[in-house]
Amino acid sequence: MTKISEVISKPVISLYNCEFVGIVKNILFDKTKKMVKYIIILNEEDDIEYAIKTNGIYKINNDAILIKNNEELELKSNLELESSNYYSLINLPIFNIDGEFLGKIKEINIDEKYKINSMETNKNQILNKDIKKIAKVVICSSQKINFNKFKKRIKFEKPKENYTVTLQVSKPKLPSKALINENMLLNRVVYNNILDQNNQTIIKANTIINNTIIEIAKKYGKLKDLIKNSF
């Protein structure tokens, strides 16, 4: 069993690439499955946040987290559209079905499959089987709860005999803008310095392009310049 507090700030090492990726900044949970979905990694040198799914993790050790390879990493900014489904649970308030406040989550224990084993507050420990629902708060109970009975019932009115049907014709979608194949940039060599808007060098000439270099270029809007100035 692993404590979340012991994972935060641990260094992350890529086994295949044999390099230091960053440190663990946060852990995002899937609220419906009650398990870890993403680990957020901060590359302090480049100030870039990455996310990696649990299936990309090889092992969590006392000293470091080992991931399989850098290809498992995603930019955290790409997850914003689905962030409502996955979020940190630390400091969420816990109530039981009788409305009693049991405290705020201070620690989460997960098993080897990254599922929540239990949650801890200052005074209580809530086991997985008693965690009934997770959203803005956590509802727990030792009894089975049918939440559907609390859902508002919708009354359907019978349509009148005479009514008008309006057909909406959707406009044809225009072809989307062609995407740059970033994989073709890997292992190319930069032959000119790449500058930012303030004429500061962000990528030096003679640099071999890897995923980190590509992310830096994207961060400063210089991906096209990277393509033009590399071979």
Q: How far apart are CA 150 and CA 154, in angstroms?
A: 12
In the prediction, which pLDDT does 168 show? 64
In the prediction, which pLDDT does 222 show? 85
CB-CB contact of 28 with 114 (8 Å): no
To the question of domain 2-87 being in CATH 1.10.260.40, the answer is no
Predicted structure pTM score: 0.62
Summarize the chain as % helix, strand, coil (round to 5).
Answer: 20, 35, 45
In the prediction, which pLDDT does 116 show? 96
Q: In the chain, which stretches have pLDDT less than 70? A: 80-84, 156, 158-181
CB-CB contact of 94 with 119 (8 Å): yes
What are the residue boundaries of the structural domains of the chain, listed by start? Answer: 2-87, 93-144, 184-228
| Homologous superfamily assigned to 93-144 | PRC-barrel domain (2.30.30.240)
pLDDT in tens, 12-40: 999 999 999 999 999 999 988 999 999 99
Whether 2-87 and 93-144 share one fold: the answer is yes
In the prediction, which pLDDT does 174 show? 44
Return the closest-CA partner of residue 128 out of 186, 85, 167, 89: 89
Rg (CA), the chain: 24
Q: How far apart are CA 231 and CA 226, in angstroms?
A: 10
In the prediction, which pLDDT does 16 show? 96
